Amino acid sequence: MFKCNICSKEINERERCNPEPLLPFEKSVCHDCDTYVTASRMHLVNFNTESFGIVASTVLEILQLSHALRNGRAELFKKMEEE
């Protein structure tokens, strides 16, 4: 099993997608997060080398933070339902 490097979802070998340019090739993303990667590719193609790294890392941080917030909220609701 592998872990999506954006949303932390557990994925198997067949579900792994190429995370470039947001992450190095050795990393993995799930099919859901691959749509973010594809959209990023489309927008980043026109950036120069200097701006490319800055924008790509900012997009990645925003995506990771949004998924962490969503997962945290889901855990909170689950705990509230159990009480």
Q: Which helix (H) or strand (E) holds 65?
A: helix 49-82
Would you say 15 and 30 are in contact if contact means Cβ atoms under 8 Å apart? yes
Could you report the per-residue pLDDT of 14-46, keeping only the tens digit for each? 889 989 988 888 999 999 999 999 998 888 888
Neighbours of 4 (CB within 10 A): 22
pLDDT for 17 equals 92
Q: How many residues does the chain have?
A: 83
Q: Is 27 exposed, middle or buried (0-12, 13-18, 19+ CB in 10 A)?
A: middle
- pLDDT band of residue 77 (cuts 50, 70, 90) is confident
Q: Where are the domains of the chain?
A: 2-82
- pLDDT band of residue 80 (cuts 50, 70, 90) is confident
